[in-house]
Amino acid sequence: MKKLLLSIFLSGLFFISGTYAQPKLEIIGGDSYNWNKVTPKESPLKATILLKNSGKERLLINSVRPSCGCTAVLLDTSQLEPGQVAKLDVKLNIPNKSGPVVKTVFIASNDPVKPNVNFYLKADVHVEIEVSPNQYFNFDDMKIGIETSSKVKLINHSTRSVTFTDFKITPDILKVNLSKELVLKPNEEYEIVASVKPEKKGYFGCNVKMKTSHPEYPEILIMGSSVVSDTAEIKSVPK
């Protein structure tokens, strides 16, 4: 009986010792990094994340993979002895669009408890002059001789009135509802409608440029493109 108890005790002690002597990935500062309020001119956002081996065995970081191409990562070492810290440099390209941004970095290691860890990159992008939903005219199903149009919204998120002038529109067949001057008060928006009746098939591209009185946005460019096909033929149905 004593031998049995001793065997159980030794087995338990070995199990506890083995469990304790493991690698452990610790992300210093938590599982996310937040740049908080930022503007597009700050892009790309940069940060250095510290990864520590808080365990008692060597930690192997097998992979560090961002969730999209807008994020770049660089790890200075993939093998960490107990207590050692690695530096993970991250860069995040942010859009020219207001709103929260959340991206994920996937970290895989030989940590037996958490072999796969998600690290989150966060930012709140503030754009004072925004073209929404995209800074691009999207013309669908263009055909020769048939007018098609596309709309975007020009939004003033700033605390000042902004004047838009010196509109340059190309090509000449593109018609846009912009006159000599446009003034937007704070939080005011204006819907820009671009219409065109294509004259030939093939690639179609256009630009709308304008100057603004906002010091951080001296010029705004809205582009657009599509492919023009032949006019659809209407076939009569035989009687």
Q: Where do the structural domains in the chain lie, given as residue ranges?
A: 24-125, 129-229
Per residue in 104-127, pLDDT (tens digit) is 999 999 999 999 999 999 999 999
Q: What is the pLDDT of residue 140?
A: 87
What is the CATH code of the structural domain delimited by 129-229?
2.60.40.10
**In the chain, what percentage of residues exceed pLDDT 70?**
88
DSSP 136-194: EEE--SEETT--EEEEEEEEE-SSS-EEEEEEEEESTT-EES--SEEEE-TT-EEEEEE
On the question of a common fold for 24-125 and 129-229, the answer reads yes
* Region 220-238 average pLDDT: 76
Per residue in 62-118, pLDDT (tens digit) is 999 999 999 999 999 999 999 999 999 999 999 888 899 999 999 999 999 999 999
Choose which CATH entry (2.60.40.10, 1.10.1370.10, 3.40.50.300, 3.20.20.70) describes domain 24-125: 2.60.40.10
Q: Rounded to the nearest 5°, which phi and psi values hold at 97? A: -150, 135
Per residue in 124-175, pLDDT (tens digit) is 999 999 999 989 999 988 999 999 999 999 999 999 999 999 999 999 999 9
Q: Which residue has the higher pLDDT, 6 or 184?
A: 184
* Threshold 0.85, pTM exceeds: no
Cα 63 from Cα 108, distance rounded (Å)? 5
- Band the pLDDT of 13: cuts 50, 70, 90: very low
